[in-house]
Chains A and B, each alone.
Chain A
């Protein structure tokens, strides 16, 4: 019994493991499946080509995709096709990551953000504007005006996944 009480006493002086969220936020692990991000290429073009394979793979039917035609005057992604409508219903999503596996261009990835609260049901629909990642340095926002014949290939050459 004393040993038990000693354990309790000892723990009073141990450093607490509580993370003071939201002031402190814990680092997520690699491969953490959080909120989706629609990635871009370095030049700013969107990776998503509107193929809807993510929607097909989703076991919860959370993704809605509508595709449209790219033109060189208004180009959103390389190749002929881009997602003009892209919506994920976060209430339906189970964060399984099947969409990420299905994507042929590594466009949709599950990122680190887990802070997804909203106050109305409508707020659960995340649109493409909300999901697209910001343009990196050296890239231009979409739609872009591009040189004809330059961005003709929709599906890039894929490497084996690194993580």
Chain B
């Protein structure tokens, strides 16, 4: 328990833990000391001088160690000769802080006046207007008129692009350094920096492409002026013109809390559109940050290409139909299929949608399958993060194992959370076949070979014989007070993933920490709600092509297997009756017998379960696109036609039904998900100059699910597949995840187009040489029956004799596979 210090601020008493800065102590009692450069999530620098206050310290007699008293009995105070910065001064017993005196008022006015001598009068054209800390503080503390000659104002570059996503206006910059410090301290991407000195001090970027960081959007939230703005939101709307709606990002399993800002748009013929996505504070999940993918890749939901009418196959062609027709056709087809049906769900679906699909499938006696290349969701349910867990609480004593994951690519905000835990003293053990950014924060880096990750994890288990290379890591594990094990999908297919999940789960169980807060197993899933799918009974299928091909009825929602791989497209062609619920006319939808147009998730309510097993609610931001319906309603209609009434009139209703029938959700209601608590630091609309323009959270922090199920080592999991040996002349290719891929949820956001990963083969230079491949020279590869051109990227940090290919860039890779490569002009050579 930290020692408490008592002091007086502006006449009010406050008691705070030792080490608290005066600016934060004042915040606790609702006194806002104005700041620019200080941010509660970063180390103070005391550079803007806005927070200057008068500080009096009690005088202590050196000989007696007793406080010296005034004649009237009050403690004698020694006020410093100069004002001091509240953001850098920790509290002290008996301190008296005065922020109301004439001297302080004059100081604040002077600092604002200094800033305004250089800051241009851009408010009418500046995107920050209306949510601008400088505007607010000028109104509160600044002078009414200028004494500076306009002609002498410093002229600097305006509207300067830092990469495609962020614009910098150097005239507006007040050199507070928040952006540079965020990039250096918090995300460790020092791609922007100060340049020159004095009044010419300016921000520049030293990366190519400019501002090359997955977190660049956050700097626009914390910039106290309109110097850093996003290209996405440039000139879109004024803050007061937009309505806000709480949501959850659906791009990855972290489940960042977001706020969507919407407005009616003339350009969109008067319909409501999402203007921007902003982070919403949830200190248990994403703090006040979000990654650029979540921030900028939302345009797919507003796309003109969305399905807006049910389709039914007549005479071999898909034609528009009414809802009644389509539902009837779907029900007829599925009824005929009987128990030989498959319900295939994608991880984009909400819990309510998944529940409906699961109920329909169960009612038919079919198999509920999850379209996923990762396994282990039942293990994360049994051994996952226990309620009460919070990455922010992890520090010394915690061991975090991250296996087979390039964490910054797979779940950027998890990278932030783990990195910061490591900086607070947590021992990070990274097990990965290649170097990734997470290595920098790791206490132990274990280089496994592709295919041997599960073995490495298993070798760390206490009680076994630990190889020398792993001794330090094993020792760290043995001494852990908490243990978090995270596994990703680096170089793994479903079989490999199952083996890895099994090994990780065994490690957690053997540690004895399972079930305690800040311990558990986390699967870094590919989609937002894969965990929810597992909790609701969906399981991935190792032999999905066969299962689909042999099914007489297939019901697919939010998945595009045919678009991913020809083998699955084939399987679907051979399947019986196919019903698809989707946003777009995907390859899978084209092969369907009935297609239902789904509403986007921002058009309705629902909930997602993140990888830590926190269920979070999202709210509708836009009206449902005419012609579409929410997924759970569609499924319910079909289920009803099949004779199984689901009674899911609304998402809340569906949730209640789900809670009644699923142990994991037992007792939960939407009201529980909407509960909030006061969070620290105070971020949000009231006082945006303190924490930035992220949104406060009064719509729900979510609820952490209890652990359910049990784990028996080896149960349901095959042992790790043998490390494949490629045939002569062929090269083993392993799938990896890149944040900006070419999936349907990313490509409609055209501002990201130059950052998208393409079909590029990554290899070690020596490996490339052995196959006559050169940097940047296009070649062809043959992969799972498909021949396609690929670029070549050489990387010395990769292991030899392997190649890496990103998923979801247009090539059908879903597990390690052997490929052959050939030059574009040459005939495909086999047998080198």
Give chain A's interface residues, CB within 8 Å of chain B. 49-53, 55-56, 64, 66-69, 79-81, 84-85, 87, 104-105, 152, 154-155, 157
A51, A64, A84, A85: which contacts B125 (Cβ < 8 A)? A51
Instruction: Please give, as numbers and ranges, the residues of chain B lying within 8 Å of A64 by CB-CB distance.
Output: 266
Nearest Cβ in chain B — how far from A145, in angstroms? Answer: 19
Contact across chains for B234 and A69 when beta carbons are under 8 A apart: yes
Decide if B475 is an interface residue (CB 8 Å cutoff).
no
Q: Would you call the interface of chain B mostly helix, strand, loop, or mixed? A: loop
Contact across chains for A155 and B121 when beta carbons are under 8 A apart: yes
Check A155/B124 contact, CB under 8 A, given A67-B235, A80-B158.
yes
Decide if B103 is an interface residue (CB 8 Å cutoff).
no
Instruction: Please give, as numbers and ranges, the residues of chain A lying within 8 Å of B235 by CB-CB distance.
Output: 50, 67-69, 81
Nearest Cβ in chain A — how far from B173, in angstroms? Answer: 16
**B129's closest neighbor in chain A, by CB?**
A51
| Contact bitstring B218-245, A, C-beta under 8 A = 1, else 0 | 0000000000000000111110110000
Give chain B's interface residues, CB within 8 Å of chain A. 121-125, 129-130, 150, 158-159, 234-238, 240-241, 265-267
A55, A79, A104: which contacts B241 (Cβ < 8 A)? A55
Nearest Cβ in chain B — how far from A73, in angstroms? Answer: 15
Instruction: Please give, as numbers and ranges, the residues of chain A lying within 8 Å of B237 by CB-CB distance.
Output: 66
Q: Which 5 residue pairs spanning A and B have beta carbons closest together?
A: A51-B124, A67-B235, A85-B266, A81-B125, A104-B124
In addition to A66-B237, A154-B124, 8 A-B residue pairs with Cβ atoms within 8 Å of each other are A50-B235, A52-B238, A55-B241, A56-B130, A64-B266, A67-B235, A68-B235, A80-B158
Contact across chains for A80 and B125 when beta carbons are under 8 A apart: yes
Complex: A55 Cα to B264 Cα, angstroms: 14
Contact across chains for A49 and B238 when beta carbons are under 8 A apart: no
Complex: A147 Cα to B367 Cα, angstroms: 67
Nearest Cβ in chain A — how far from B602, in angstroms? Answer: 21
Q: Counting chain A CB atoms within 10 Å of each CB, which of B124, B130, B234, B266 scores highest?
A: B124
Instruction: Please give, as numbers and ranges, the residues of chain A lying within 8 Å of B150 by CB-CB distance.
Output: 157
Nearest Cβ in chain A — how far from B504, in angstroms? Answer: 50
Instruction: Please give, as numbers and ranges, the residues of chain A lying within 8 Å of B125 by CB-CB distance.
Output: 49-51, 79-81, 154-155
Nearest Cβ in chain A — how far from B138, in angstroms? Answer: 15
Instruction: Please give, as numbers and ranges, the residues of chain A lying within 8 Å of B158 by CB-CB distance.
Output: 80, 152
Contact across chains for B240 and A56 when beta carbons are under 8 A apart: yes
Instruction: Please give, as numbers and ranges, the residues of chain B lying within 8 Å of A79 by CB-CB distance.
Output: 125
Instruction: Please give, as numbers and ranges, the residues of chain A lying within 8 Å of B265 by CB-CB distance.
Output: 66
Check A87/B266 contact, CB under 8 A, given A81-B125, A105-B124.
yes
Instruction: Please give, as numbers and ranges, the residues of chain A lying within 8 Å of B130 by CB-CB distance.
Output: 56
Q: Can you show 9 pairs from A to B with CB atoms below 8 A apart?
A: A50-B125, A51-B129, A56-B240, A66-B266, A67-B235, A80-B158, A87-B266, A104-B123, A155-B124
**A64's closest neighbor in chain B, by CB?**
B266
Nearest Cβ in chain B — how far from A134, in angstroms? Answer: 24
Complex: A50 Cα to B129 Cα, angstroms: 13
Instruction: Please give, as numbers and ranges, the residues of chain B lying within 8 Å of A84 by CB-CB distance.
Output: 267
Complex: A105 Cα to B265 Cα, angstroms: 25
Complex: A155 Cα to B267 Cα, angstroms: 26
Complex: A155 Cα to B129 Cα, angstroms: 15
Complex: A72 Cα to B140 Cα, angstroms: 38
**A53's closest neighbor in chain B, by CB?**
B124
Nearest Cβ in chain A — how far from B145, in angstroms? Answer: 13
Complex: A14 Cα to B150 Cα, angstroms: 61
Contact across chains for A49 and B124 when beta carbons are under 8 A apart: yes
Nearest Cβ in chain B — how far from A116, in angstroms? Answer: 21
Complex: A35 Cα to B158 Cα, angstroms: 36
Nearest Cβ in chain B — how far from A118, in angstroms? Answer: 19
Complex: A87 Cα to B240 Cα, angstroms: 18
Instruction: Please give, as numbers and ranges, the residues of chain A lying within 8 Å of B238 by CB-CB distance.
Output: 52, 55-56
Instruction: Please give, as numbers and ranges, the residues of chain B lying within 8 Å of A50 by CB-CB distance.
Output: 125, 235
Q: Counting chain B CB atoms within 10 Å of each CB, which of A55, A66, A68, A154 scores highest?
A: A66
Instruction: Please give, as numbers and ranges, the residues of chain A lying within 8 Å of B267 by CB-CB distance.
Output: 66, 84-85
Nearest Cβ in chain A — how far from B815, in angstroms? Answer: 46
Instruction: Please give, as numbers and ranges, the residues of chain A lying within 8 Å of B122 by CB-CB distance.
Output: 154-155
Nearest Cβ in chain A — how far from B474, in angstroms? Answer: 58
Complex: A89 Cα to B16 Cα, angstroms: 54
**B167's closest neighbor in chain A, by CB?**
A80
Nearest Cβ in chain A — how far from B503, in angstroms? Answer: 54
Complex: A85 Cα to B270 Cα, angstroms: 12
Instruction: Please give, as numbers and ranges, the residues of chain A lying within 8 Å of B240 by CB-CB distance.
Output: 56
**B121's closest neighbor in chain A, by CB?**
A155
Instruction: Please give, as numbers and ranges, the residues of chain B lying within 8 Å of A67 by CB-CB distance.
Output: 235-236
Complex: A79 Cα to B171 Cα, angstroms: 14
Instruction: Please give, as numbers and ranges, the residues of chain A lying within 8 Å of B124 by CB-CB distance.
Output: 49, 51, 53, 81, 104-105, 154-155
Complex: A67 Cα to B124 Cα, angstroms: 11
Q: Counting chain B CB atoms within 10 Å of each CB, which of A80, A84, A104, A154 scores highest?
A: A80
Complex: A33 Cα to B121 Cα, angstroms: 29
Complex: A88 Cα to B130 Cα, angstroms: 22
Complex: A44 Cα to B235 Cα, angstroms: 23
Nearest Cβ in chain A — how far from B695, in angstroms? Answer: 20
Instruction: Please give, as numbers and ranges, the residues of chain B lying within 8 Å of A56 by CB-CB distance.
Output: 130, 238, 240
Nearest Cβ in chain B — how far from A78, in angstroms? Answer: 10
Nearest Cβ in chain A — how far from B156, in angstroms? Answer: 12
**A87's closest neighbor in chain B, by CB?**
B266
Complex: A69 Cα to B229 Cα, angstroms: 14
Complex: A64 Cα to B235 Cα, angstroms: 14
Complex: A56 Cα to B238 Cα, angstroms: 9
Instruction: Please give, as numbers and ranges, the residues of chain A lying within 8 Å of B121 by CB-CB distance.
Output: 155
Instruction: Please give, as numbers and ranges, the residues of chain B lying within 8 Å of A68 by CB-CB distance.
Output: 235
Nearest Cβ in chain A — how far from B87, in angstroms? Answer: 32
**B155's closest neighbor in chain A, by CB?**
A152
Nearest Cβ in chain A — how far from B394, in angstroms? Answer: 45
Nearest Cβ in chain A — how far from B153, in angstroms? Answer: 11
Contact across chains for A80 and B266 when beta carbons are under 8 A apart: no
Complex: A157 Cα to B150 Cα, angstroms: 9
Nearest Cβ in chain B — how far from A25, in angstroms? Answer: 34
Contact across chains for B159 and A80 when beta carbons are under 8 A apart: yes
Nearest Cβ in chain B — how far from A39, in angstroms? Answer: 15
Instruction: Please give, as numbers and ranges, the residues of chain B lying within 8 Å of A87 by CB-CB distance.
Output: 266
Nearest Cβ in chain B — how far from A4, in angstroms? Answer: 61
Instruction: Please give, as numbers and ranges, the residues of chain B lying within 8 Å of A69 by CB-CB distance.
Output: 234-235
**B238's closest neighbor in chain A, by CB?**
A52
Nearest Cβ in chain A — how far from B130, in angstroms? Answer: 8
Complex: A105 Cα to B122 Cα, angstroms: 12
Instruction: Please give, as numbers and ranges, the residues of chain A lying within 8 Å of B129 by CB-CB distance.
Output: 51
Complex: A130 Cα to B703 Cα, angstroms: 54
Nearest Cβ in chain B — how far from A158, in angstroms? Answer: 10
Instruction: Please give, as numbers and ranges, the residues of chain B lying within 8 Å of A85 by CB-CB distance.
Output: 266-267
Complex: A152 Cα to B155 Cα, angstroms: 11
Instruction: Please give, as numbers and ranges, the residues of chain A lying within 8 Å of B266 by CB-CB distance.
Output: 64, 66, 85, 87
Complex: A87 Cα to B267 Cα, angstroms: 13
Complex: A34 Cα to B265 Cα, angstroms: 28
**A127's closest neighbor in chain B, by CB?**
B266
Complex: A149 Cα to B121 Cα, angstroms: 18
Contact across chains for B234 and A52 when beta carbons are under 8 A apart: no
Complex: A61 Cα to B158 Cα, angstroms: 32
Nearest Cβ in chain A — how far from B750, in angstroms? Answer: 15
Complex: A50 Cα to B124 Cα, angstroms: 8
**A77's closest neighbor in chain B, by CB?**
B125
Complex: A61 Cα to B571 Cα, angstroms: 57
Nearest Cβ in chain A — how far from B239, in angstroms? Answer: 10
Instruction: Please give, as numbers and ranges, the residues of chain B lying within 8 Å of A51 by CB-CB distance.
Output: 123-125, 129
Nearest Cβ in chain B — how far from A146, in angstroms? Answer: 16
Instruction: Please give, as numbers and ranges, the residues of chain B lying within 8 Å of A53 by CB-CB distance.
Output: 124
Complex: A80 Cα to B240 Cα, angstroms: 21
Instruction: Please give, as numbers and ranges, the residues of chain B lying within 8 Å of A55 by CB-CB distance.
Output: 238, 241
Nearest Cβ in chain B — how far from A104, in angstroms? Answer: 5
Complex: A48 Cα to B740 Cα, angstroms: 38
Instruction: Please give, as numbers and ranges, the residues of chain A lying within 8 Å of B241 by CB-CB distance.
Output: 52, 55
Nearest Cβ in chain A — how far from B711, in angstroms? Answer: 55
**A103's closest neighbor in chain B, by CB?**
B124
Instruction: Please give, as numbers and ranges, the residues of chain B lying within 8 Å of A155 by CB-CB distance.
Output: 121-122, 124-125
**B124's closest neighbor in chain A, by CB?**
A51
Nearest Cβ in chain A — how far from B783, in angstroms? Answer: 43
